[in-house]
Amino acid sequence: MVLKVMSSNQAIAEAVKLAKPKVIPVYPITPQTTISEYLAKYVADGDINAEYIRVESEHSAISACLGASGTGVRVFTATSSQGLALMHEIIFAAAGLRAPIVMADANRALSAPLSIWNDQQDSISERDSGWMQIYAENGQEALDSVLMSYKVSENKEVLLPTMVCVDGFILTHTVDPVDVPDEEEVDKFLPDYNPEHAYLDPKRPMSIGTFTDPDYYMEARHDMEVAMEKAKAVISDVSQEFADTFGRKYDFIEKYRSEDADTILIAMGSICSTIKDVVDELREQGEKVGLVRVRVFRPFPVEEIYDAIKGASNVGVIDKNFSFSIGGVLHNNIKSMMDVNAAGFIVGLGGRDIKPSHIKEIVEKTNNPSDKPQWIGLNKEEQ
């Protein structure tokens, strides 16, 4: 194995090269832009045999993806923040039409005020679209997740699109060592896409994207929920097969020193690397602290999270997003699905630094919880 040093954006582009999509419509947006640049170069150099469509907006990017997917080919796109928001209409349509699109989202704050920096509000705001969502912690996981996502999305039991989310700048523009898998092994793991469902073929005419009256809409939406539930078993199988092939195992959640922990923090994405350092430090001081990192956010792994946290006395959930009057969405999801007292914390909006001292403050406040979600790292305390 040869490790190469690269950003998560490059790692994602490498994964796309290996997944061999036939159509790649991408519109550049900070901090996703280098993904579109790497892919444009790979296509121009002949490293990927794909149609690279230089669309005029993100709405067109995802529309072209959906149209191409509807002809039965593998597709890829990537975006961020305002671009994802502009895609919103077609994001729902893609899931409803059961198009197995894989998209990377470089997590970035939404306007206003205008910010190019990281939080997870953009993808969290698309949580009810019917897309599966993966939150990667590093470049290796981003690469591996793209490969696994195609296999899960294209499974005929699932047929839902996947969003692979990486924290903007923190992951997209920093480098770490990444093992780029061997092409032949990836070809075996992820063969060519063979569509069996709705796609346009003159030999087998059908209409997709049609109008439905009230007699059919609810069934179509319910089918998506059934598929989202079925995706859990498929994700497990695919990650086991991935582990058998490439030696890296990814579960719905990652448990870090949480088995015997009194206090467990729950979070998603790159912040978990910081939390792991703080957990190690506090463990050395005798505090029984652990981390549960939620990797797969949709389908939401209720049983896995509950099993991991039910033994803890105190649970703190950290969100880089906010739902007004409610609090963090991960926190809210956990509280709504499990009988557990969990404190909620809002951090890192619009790229606000999250330092180990903030994590220690969260551990302290988790052990002495208050009812309301707390904003950590505000310059002016407003509580």
Partner 1 sequence: MVAIGAAVKEPGSTRKNKTGSWRTFKPILDKETCIECENCVMFCPEGCIDKNYDIDYDYCKGCGICAEECPVKAIKMERE
Q: Which residues bind partner 1 (CB under 8 A)?
A: 96-99, 159, 197-198, 205-208, 210, 212-213, 216-217, 219-220, 223
- What is the smallest separation between the CB atom of 128 and partner 1, expressed in angstroms? 18
Q: List, in order, residues 6 or more apart from 218 with CB less than 8 Å away.
A: none
Which is nearer to partner 1, 212 or 370 (by Cβ)?
A: 212
CA neighbor of 100 nearest in space, from 52, 156, 180: 156
Query: DSSP readout, 158-197?
Result: T---EEEEEETTTTTTSEEEEEPPPHHHHHHHS------S
- What is the smallest separation between the CB atom of 93 and partner 1, expressed in angstroms? 10
- What is the smallest separation between the CB atom of 222 and partner 1, expressed in angstroms? 9
35 backbone φψ class: left, alpha, beta (φ>0; ψ -120 to 50): alpha
Q: List, in order, residues 6 or more apart from 361 with CB less than 8 Å away.
A: 376
Peptide bond into 142 cis (omega under 30): no
- What is the smallest separation between the CB atom of 227 and partner 1, expressed in angstroms? 8
- What is the smallest separation between the CB atom of 209 and partner 1, expressed in angstroms? 8
Find the Cα–Cα–Cα–Cα dihedral 327, 172, 128, 309, rounded to 10°: -60
| 23, containing H or E segment | strand 23-25
Which is nearer to partner 1, 98 or 108 (by Cβ)?
A: 98
Burial code of 356-382, b = ≥16 C-beta within 10 A, e = fewer? eebbebbbebbeeeeeebbbbbeeeee
Which is nearer to partner 1, 219 or 339 (by Cβ)?
A: 219
Task: Look up residue 85 and give its amino acid.
Answer: A
Helices 271-284 and 356-367, axial angle in degrees (round to 10)? 70
Distance CA 23, CA 15 (A): 15
- What is the smallest separation between the CB atom of 260 and partner 1, expressed in angstroms? 45
- What is the smallest separation between the CB atom of 146 and partner 1, expressed in angstroms? 23
Q: What are the C-alpha distances in Å from 11 to residues 166, 238, 270, 310, 316?
A: 11, 20, 15, 35, 31
- What is the smallest separation between the CB atom of 134 and partner 1, expressed in angstroms? 22
